Structure 1
């Protein structure tokens, strides 16, 4: 069975509906779902840079709250924030259906684009939620990027 792709213009709102999210600034989630090369060379990369930092900070804060050692915090952060894990989680959640991919890449989303998009979603949420880490944590949790039990 072939699924009908979500029209590009509908992807940001469909993403928000599917994940029960509401971005006040929809331009941020639109940018987060746009791979580089679609409109410009940058695409979602600047949001991804922010999101990577926010995810790592979130994991470090959680580790500290759990009284984990520095080595445990570093290990958990490296594992959870790794591109391999971000890619795996993104595909498992079906986020590839919402990405506006570079036309030169065809319809398939590469692992790198998926990892970058996952980070960009976190970055967009951080900016949209006025840099409130507690609120952003709900997005990180929804993406399954949580401290290991």
Structure 2
């Protein structure tokens, strides 16, 4: 069921469908989808503040998951470095088709890896804030975006 709001547009609805998370405050999702310099953004840095929050939430969930699985510190660090890397986040964002829903600035003809990384992180940050700091909500969105702690058999493939 769609979130009823004048702020929710087709792009935002599509991102909610991809992530499986319904925003209580769609304005924060709109902010997460705004690249720096976007005409919709009242801030020149667009979604970068949310991206910082999202990067921290991503690392927190991965660290906690590693602890819960009994992984040693080195393994946890390796997984975090791999799953929170700019290239990995960009790849997963493009694979999920998020590039079609980013509000780009007028000078952008395509979505760069950096813009995609910021957007994926910003979406996680928006979920963290919208869910009132619920790590389980972030973890669910991470799973939808293929950012979760890897299954045991694929850990060695990842490293």
Query: What is the TM-score when the length of structure 1 is the normalising length?
Result: 0.90
Shift of 1:21: 2.6
> 2:64 corresponds to which residue?
61
Task: Show structure 2 runs of 5+ residues with no match.
Answer: 1-8, 152-159
2:118 to 116, 121, 145: 116
Which aligned segments of 4 or more residues in structure 1 are displaced greater than 4 angstroms? none
Match of 2:103, SS state, is coil
Give, in whole Å, the separation in 2 of the partners of 1:128 and 1:112: 24
Shift of 1:13: 2.3
Please tell me whether residue 96 in structure 1 is matched to residue 127 in structure 2: no
> 1:6 corresponds to which residue?
none
CA 47–69 in structure 1, closer or farther in 2 if over 3 Å, else same:
same
Shift of 1:145: 0.3
Please tell me whether residue 20 in structure 1 is matched to residue 20 in structure 2: yes
The 5-angstrom pairing of residues 50-89 of structure 1 reads 50-89=53-92
Query: What is the TM-score when the length of structure 2 is the normalising length?
Result: 0.84
Whether the 8 Å contact between 2:58 and 2:84 is mirrored in structure 1 is yes
Whether the 8 Å contact between 2:58 and 2:138 is mirrored in structure 1 is no
Equivalent pairs, count: 141
